[in-house]
Amino acid sequence: MSPSLPSNAMRLAGRPTPDLILDEARMRRNIARLRQRLAPFGVVLRPHIKTAKSIDVARQLLTDGHGPATVSTLREAEALFETGVTDILYAVGIAPHRLERVQALRARGCDLAIILDSVEQAQAVAAASGAAAIPVLLEIDCDGHRSGLKPDDEQLATIGRILEEGGASLRGVMTHAGESYSARSIAELEAFAEQERLAVVTAAQHLRAAGLPCPVISVGSTPTAHFARNLDGVTEVRAGVFTFFDLVMAGIGVCTLDDLALSVLTTVIGHQADKGWVLCDAGWMALSRDRGTQGQAVDQGYGVVCDADGRPYDNLIVEAANQEHGIIALRPGSVEPLPDLPVGTVLRILPNHACATGAQFDAYTVLPADGGPLAVWPRFRGW
Amino acid sequence: MSPSLPSNAMRLAGRPTPDLILDEARMRRNIARLRQRLAPFGVVLRPHIKTAKSIDVARQLLTDGHGPATVSTLREAEALFETGVTDILYAVGIAPHRLERVQALRARGCDLAIILDSVEQAQAVAAASGAAAIPVLLEIDCDGHRSGLKPDDEQLATIGRILEEGGASLRGVMTHAGESYSARSIAELEAFAEQERLAVVTAAQHLRAAGLPCPVISVGSTPTAHFARNLDGVTEVRAGVFTFFDLVMAGIGVCTLDDLALSVLTTVIGHQADKGWVLCDAGWMALSRDRGTQGQAVDQGYGVVCDADGRPYDNLIVEAANQEHGIIALRPGSVEPLPDLPVGTVLRILPNHACATGAQFDAYTVLPADGGPLAVWPRFRGW
C-alpha cells in the first residue's frame, strides 16, 4: 500500500464495536491461491458458501455467477438462486421433510443436487422425484469423521439402484475429510487428501461395476484441497473456510496469520492490572464459543489479538470470554510485558473458526481491496 | 395437561428443523419461582434480558412494563425502550465511544444507568454528562471472575468524587458472582451469594464513609439469586438465565431438567450403526459451540437428547457437533441399547447454555402455556 493511503486503523476509526471486519485483499488472494493450485489438476472448484453466507463474497467465489457452489442449508441455496446461481450441491444428508423445498427450487430452474447415505433416504427421494428426477450424490465416509457409507459398502449399489429405478438420478459420489482438521504435518495432510481421493474413486468403481452411472466424483475440505498431490479420477473439489482462513487452519499449516481475512474489531473497556488482564468488548457473543485451537500445538484461546491495523501482538490472546467481555492476557509462559492498552484502545481479534465467528454477525464491514471507503456486505443465516 | 389436549409432539409436528422451541409454561414457572423466593427479602428483581433478547419474554419478566431491566448491549436497551421500558441498567463496563448513544437514549426519557470501574472511564462519563448527569454504578469484583474494583479499593471514593464533582451521578454499586457457576454444592452456592452480598455492602460502606451517595446496592447471578440466605443491605438482584434455565444450571443444582424451557427441535438424518451414532440436523450452528458442562461432574456434550414431547432419554447426548450435523450417542459407560431412531425422527435437544443457543436463532417457536396454537416470538441481536 502506498504511504499516501490511509492505514486500516484510520479507515476503521469510529466504527462501533464489536464489528466483523473483512479484508477483501486477503480474501481475493486466498481465492486466487486455491484456484491456481487446483488448475493443473483439471478439476472443478465448487466453493462452499457455508463460511461466508454472503452474496457479495459468493460473487467473488463463483466463476461465472451461476456456480458451481456448495451449501450447508437450503436457506443458502435459496439465497444464491435468487441472485442467479443455478448449480448447487446441498451437502448435508437429506431429511425427507426437506424434499418439498428441494423440488420447489428445482422446479424454478435450480440444478440443486442432494446427498444421502441410506436406503430409507433413497426411497424417500425416489418417491419425491415423480416426473422430476432429483439428482443425488452418495455420501462416502473416508475417515470416520461423521456420515457416509464405506467406499466398498455393498449398500452403495443397492441405494444407487433404488434411486435410478425409482425415478431419481444417481449423479455420483462425494466425501469430506473432516478429520484432516486434526493433521499435524504436511505428510499427514497429503495422506488425508489421498485417503479422501481413494475413498470416492473406490466407491465410483463399485457403482460402475454394478452398471450404475457415476459422472461426478467430489472431494473436499480446505486442508486436503491445498495439499492433494494426486486428484486422478476426481471431478470436483469443495472447500469453504479457505475463503477467509482462520487460526485452526493456520495451526495445521494450511495458511499463515497474514492470510486471515476475518477479524473482530473490539474496544478495550477495562483492566485487572494485578492479573495482567485487559478487558475488551468482544465476548463470545462476538467471537463465538469455538475453541478449535484447544487441541492444537498452540492453543490460541478465543483468538489472537492484533492492533487496529491487523498486526498481531506475538504474545497476546483472548484468554477467556463471557457473553460481552473478552479477557485479553499474555500467553502462558510469556516473559514480555503486557503492552499499554488504555480504555478506548481499538484492537482486532483473529478468530479460531471463521464459520463460527462470522455467524455471530449480520454483516461484514469490508476493507475494500482497492483502498476505497468501507463497504457493508450483509450475511444471511437460518435454515 | 388434560389428555384431550394435543401432545407437544403433535403440536410441533411439521415444523422445519432445526428450530428453537420455548415452553412458555416452564418459563412462567421459573419466573414465578424466583419472584417468590426473593419476595421475603424486600429486594427489587431486575431481570437480565441478555438471555432472552425478546420483547415478548421481557413482557413476562418485567413487573409493570417499565422495568426494571438489565441489559448487556445498548441494542437491548434501545429495543426495550421502544416498547416502554424506561428503567434500564447497562451492565457491561462503559466504553467512552458509547456515551453518545447512552445520552441519546436518556434524552428521550430512558433512565439508563451505566457501570464502570476506572478513573479514566469516570472522567469520560463526567465529561459526557454536561448538563445531563449520567447515573453510574461502580462495578465491584466479588470473586476475581472478570472486571470490577475490590470492595475496599481506595479508588472507589476517588472515582465516586470524579463522577459527583464532574457532573455525573453516583447511583451505587453492583457486582456479579460469575464464579458461582463453578459451585459444586448447596453450601458453595450459599457461600458465593454471601460473598457477593458482602462485597457490595462493604464497597457501599466505604463510599458512604467518604461522604458519597450509594442508594443502589445491586447483586446478581442466577445461582446466587436462588441460594442467597441473607440479602441485608442489598436493594436489587439481577439474574438472566433463570428465565429458561439450562444444563449448566441443572449441573450445579439450581434447577432440574424439567425446568428447562428452551430446546432445539431436530430431525434424524442418518446413522453410523457400527459406531452407535445417530446423526441429526442440529449441529453447532443451531446448538452453539458452548460446552459449559465440560468441566462439570456430568459432561452433557452438546446437549441432552429428548423425544419430541421433551422427555429426556436418560443416556443419550449430542456427543459431537459439526456446523450442520449433531452426532447423538449413548453416554460413555452406558449399557442400555441405542433407541431405534429412524431417519425423519423428530427430537429435542436441551442446551448447555441458554444464552448461547438462543443467540443462534432469530425467533422462538413458542408452545403457549394455555395450550393454544404455536406462536412465534422474534429475538433481536447485534450491538
Alpha-carbon gap, residue A174 to A48, rounded angstroms: 14
Closest residue in B to A267 (Cα) is: B95
Mean pLDDT of B80-107: 98
Mean pLDDT of B319-345: 95
What ipTM does this complex have?
0.96
Does B383 reach chain A within 8 Å, measured CB to CB? yes
E strand or H helix at A295, and its extent? none
Which of A:305-364 have CB within 8 Å of B? 320, 322-325, 327, 342-344, 355-356, 359-362
Instruction: Tell me whether residues B272 and A356 touch, CB distance under 8 A.
Output: no
Does A178 reach chain B within 8 Å, measured CB to CB? yes
- Could you report the per-residue pLDDT of A88-144, keeping only the tens digit for each? 999 999 999 999 999 999 999 999 999 999 999 999 999 999 889 999 999 999 999
C-alpha distance from B128 to closest chain A C-alpha (Å): 15
| Percent of chain A clearing pLDDT 70 (strictly above) | 99
∠ Cα B269 B271 B275 (to 5°): 150
pLDDT at site A6: 81
Q: Which candidate, A266, A279, A253, A244, places its Cα nearest to that of A355?
A: A244
What are A341's three cell numbers? 492498552
Is the model's pLDDT at A27 over the cut of 60? yes
pLDDT at site B336: 86
In angstroms, the first-to-last Cα distance of chain A is 40
Average pLDDT score, chain B: 96
**Pairs of residues, one from chain A and one from chain B, whose beta carbons lie less than 8 Å apart:** 150
Which of A:9-48 have CB within 8 Å of B? 14, 16-18
- Closest in A279, A289, A355 to B288, CB measured: A289
Instruction: Tell me whether residues B73 and A324 touch, CB distance under 8 A.
Output: yes
Instruction: Tell me whether residues A117 and B50 touch, CB distance under 8 A.
Output: no
Instruction: Tell me whether residues A343 and B118 touch, CB distance under 8 A.
Output: yes
What are B173's three cell numbers? 454499586
Mean pLDDT of B352-368: 98
- A99 Cβ contact partners less than 8 Å away, ≥ 6 residues apart: A124, A125, A128, A134
- Closest in B16, B50, B147 to A272, CB measured: B147
CB of A267 within 8 A of CB of A315? no
Does B100 reach chain A within 8 Å, measured CB to CB? no
Which of B:257-296 have CB within 8 Å of A? 267-272, 275, 277, 279, 281, 284-286, 288-291
Q: Which of B121, B181, B289, B357 best tests the A interface by mutation, with the highest count of A CBs <10 A?
A: B289
* Sign of torsion over alpha carbons B321, B327, B328, B334: negative
- Closest in B270, B289, B323 to A289, CB measured: B289
Q: Is-cis flag, bond preceding B18, omega within 30? A: yes
**Cα within 13 Å of Cα(B136), Cβ side:** 35
- Could you report the per-residue pLDDT of B259-304, keeping only the tens digit for each? 999 999 999 999 999 999 999 999 999 999 999 999 999 999 999 9
Burial environment of residue B373 by CB neighbours within 10 A (0 to 12, 13 to 18, 19 or more): exposed
Neighbouring-strand partners of residue A111: A87
Does A224 reach chain B within 8 Å, measured CB to CB? no
Which segment of A47-61, A315-329, A332-346 scores lowest on mean pLDDT?
Answer: A332-346
Q: C-alpha B40: how far from its chain's center?
A: 23
CB atoms within 10 A of CB A276: 15
Instruction: Tell me whether residues A382 and B359 touch, CB distance under 8 A.
Output: no
Q: How does strand A304-307 pair with strand A277-280?
A: unpaired
Alpha-carbon gap, residue B90 to B75, rounded angstroms: 10
Closest residue in A to B361 (Cα) is: A382
Instruction: Tell me whether residues B96 and A16 touch, CB distance under 8 A.
Output: no
pLDDT-derived band of residue B189, with 50, 70 and 90 as boundaries? very high
pLDDT-derived band of residue B193, with 50, 70 and 90 as boundaries? very high
Q: Which candidate, B380, B382, B383, B321, places its Cα nearest to that of B54?
A: B380
CB of B29 within 8 A of CB of B244? no
Contacts of A327 in chain B (CB under 8 A): 146
Q: How does strand B277-280 pair with strand B262-272?
A: antiparallel
* Sign of torsion over alpha carbons A364, A368, A372, A378: negative
pLDDT-derived band of residue B131, with 50, 70 and 90 as boundaries? confident
pLDDT at site A3: 52
pLDDT at site B63: 79
Does B97 reach chain A within 8 Å, measured CB to CB? yes
Buried b (16+ CB within 10 A) or exposed e, A337-370: ebeebebebbbbbbbbbbbbbbbbbebbbbbeee
Does A373 reach chain B within 8 Å, measured CB to CB? no
Alpha-carbon gap, residue B352 to B251, rounded angstroms: 9
Instruction: Tell me whether residues B146 and A279 touch, CB distance under 8 A.
Output: yes
Mean pLDDT of B307-317: 96
Mean pLDDT of A314-329: 97
Mean pLDDT of B58-85: 96
In whole angstroms, how far apart are CA B194 and each of B173, B177, B178? Answer: 16, 10, 13
pLDDT at site A335: 86
C-alpha distance from B40 to closest chain A C-alpha (Å): 31
What is the pTM (predicted TM-score) of this model?
A: 0.97
Identify how many contiguous H helices and E strands chain B contains and give both numbers. 12, 17
pLDDT-derived band of residue B335, with 50, 70 and 90 as boundaries? confident
- Closest in B117, B269, B277 to A93, CB measured: B269
- Closest in B50, B72, B383 to A18, CB measured: B383
Mean pLDDT of B331-352: 95
- Closest in B14, B72, B121 to A323, CB measured: B72
pLDDT-derived band of residue A1, with 50, 70 and 90 as boundaries? very low
- A199 Cβ contact partners less than 8 Å away, ≥ 6 residues apart: A140, A141, A142, A143, A151, A175
pLDDT-derived band of residue B1, with 50, 70 and 90 as boundaries? very low
Q: Which candidate, A329, A339, A270, A341, places its Cα nearest to that of A300?
A: A329
Looking only at Cα atoms, what is the longest distance across chain B?
72
Is the model's pLDDT at B3 over the cut of 60? no
- Could you report the per-residue pLDDT of B226-244, keeping only the tens digit for each? 999 999 999 999 999 999 9
